[in-house]
Amino acid sequence: MSGLGGLNKSPDGVVIGLVQLQLPIVVTKADLARQTEKVCAMVTKARRAFATMDLVVFPEYCLHGLSMDTNPEIMCRLDGPEVAAFKSACLRENIWGCFSIMELNPAGNPYNSGLIIDNTGEIRLYYRKMHPWVPVEPWEPGNLGIPVCDGPNGSKLALIICHDGMFPEMARECAYKGANVMIRTAGYTAPIRHAWTITNQANSFCNLMYSANVCMAGTDGVFNSMGEGTIVGFDGVPLVTGNGAPDEIITAEVRPRLADEARQLWGVENNIYQFGHRGYVAVEGGAQDCPYTYMTDLAAGQYRLPWDGAVKVTDGTSCGFPRPTRRYQG
């Protein structure tokens, strides 16, 4: 049930709008200012078109487009005019918003960052993309972990960005930290369509968690982003699926209380619980060890695949980026 896209809102419902924003071309500071105005205008559109909406979500690259330009002149800061405009728009329209910025990093490459701002204009969640889409993206790997915040009407929100969602561990971490709604913003293009669909559904089902997922849409003359906003129920079944229409807003109501209830009451396929309580029918409380070699090796700084030495693409040179020479400091 999506409440007819949120038109019929339940007392414990959260209506989410996913903006399939037109892919922009941003080269100069003036371009960035115009695109900021466009995003804020879409916040106003969301509020006026959907009076019941609680949270409006913009895709990754909503300000900067897909150029991968790291020019410091068009990078953003948390205390910069772009974020200030987002805060004002959320306050003015009395709505929560999720936004994407490419964030200036004086110590290295820019961060690909996401913000959730509440209806009073306060930043409630600040996240830096953990897994840039290599070898295409030049962004610094995120160093803030995966935060979770209280959202509207009983929701607990987490945010991951694009390629993050291809790693099951990312969605599991969101759920492990309490999120019952995971947002995934993206700039993906058509070749990723099938992987986008199946990972969004698996991320929800494997963690008994709603997911709200949206890409940029349209073309910038070079790339075609695919739109295809989708909100998936905690059982892995899509509640609503969008198309490729630029600037269309895809909406549905989610019921966080029902996800919380499933996590408490389900026996069969309560995977987020059963993962840490293996075989509890046979042994009291289940086995609570860590039998996964990749986890223990990663924690020890010794992650290495059997074919590690045979991997051919291990930097960004194939996409025109120079080979990095500095080590990650964390």
- Residues assigned a catalytic role: 60, 129, 162
CA diameter of the chain: 65
Long-range contacts from 280-284, C-beta under 8 angstroms, 24+ separation: none
Report the candidate in 6, 4, 111 with the shortest Cα–Cα distance to residue 56: 6
Tokens of 5: 């896209």
Q: Which H or E run includes 33? A: helix 29-49
Return all residues near 243 (Cβ < 8 A) that are at least 6 apart: 20, 227, 228
Report the candidate in 185, 173, 122, 186 with the shortest Cα–Cα distance to residue 151: 122
Q: What is the DSSP letter of 263?
A: H
68 phi/psi in degrees, rounded to 5? 65, 25
3-state secondary structure of 147: coil
Residue identified by tokens 């089902």 is 205
Q: How far apart are CA 61 and CA 101, in angstroms?
A: 7
Query: What DSSP line would sit under 99-125, residue for residue?
Result: EEEEEP-TTSSPEEEEEEE-TTS-EEE
Report the candidate in 3, 6, 21, 7 with the shortest Cα–Cα distance to residue 228: 21
Q: What is the DSSP letter of 165?
A: G
* CB of 160 closer than 8 Å to CB of 182: yes
* CB of 102 closer than 8 Å to CB of 76: yes
Q: How far apart are CA 200 and CA 217, in angstroms?
A: 18
Residue 3 region by backbone torsions, left for phi larger than 0, else alpha for psi between -120 and 50, else beta: left
